[in-house]
Amino acid sequence: MLELHQIFAKQKRMLFFLLAFCALGWAFTPYQTVFAGLALGALFGHYNFWILVRRMERFDRSINEGKKVASLGSAFRFASGIAAVAVATMLPKYFHLISTVIGLMIPYVLLLVDRIVFHVKYQ
């Protein structure tokens, strides 16, 4: 389970860099809604990722104890995606919808890139 936490910690570090980048873009460029949407989407995407890590830990524990696993939390992740888009549609003055959806997918892209780099480096 250690590697799971390592991946999550790396994602967290990258999220902070991304949020700093979004803050800079929000403050110094005219595309404020785009950067705000990216930050919002990335936050919700990261929340999705956190839920997944938590469920994986529960899955691990269940296998250890020989219990059944109820779910991997897909409904929660779908709901948090909808929540991000709902915020963006409710406040179009502050958040750009498409960039919110793009931001929602950023953790997955980072995960994929991270694994590709890991494989190229170590295998």
Contact residues for other proteins (CB under 8 A)? 1-4, 7, 48-49, 52-53, 56, 59-60, 63, 69, 72, 74, 77-78, 81-82, 84-86, 89, 97, 101, 104-105, 108, 111-112, 115
Helix axes 32-65, 2-28, angle to 10 degrees: 170
The torsion defined by the Cα of 50, 121, 19 and 43, in degrees rounded to 10, comes to -20
Rounded to a whole number of angstroms, the minimum distance from the CB of residue 53 to other proteins is 8
Smallest distance from other proteins to CB 73, Å? 9
Rounded least distance, CB 114 to other proteins, Å: 9
Token duo for residue 78 = 């779908």
Whichever of 18 and 110 has its CB closer to other proteins, that residue is 110
Residue closer to other proteins, measured from CB, 29 or 74: 74
Cβ contacts of 69 within 8 Å, gap of 6 or more: 58, 59, 62, 63
Helix (H) and strand (E) counts in the chain: 5, 0
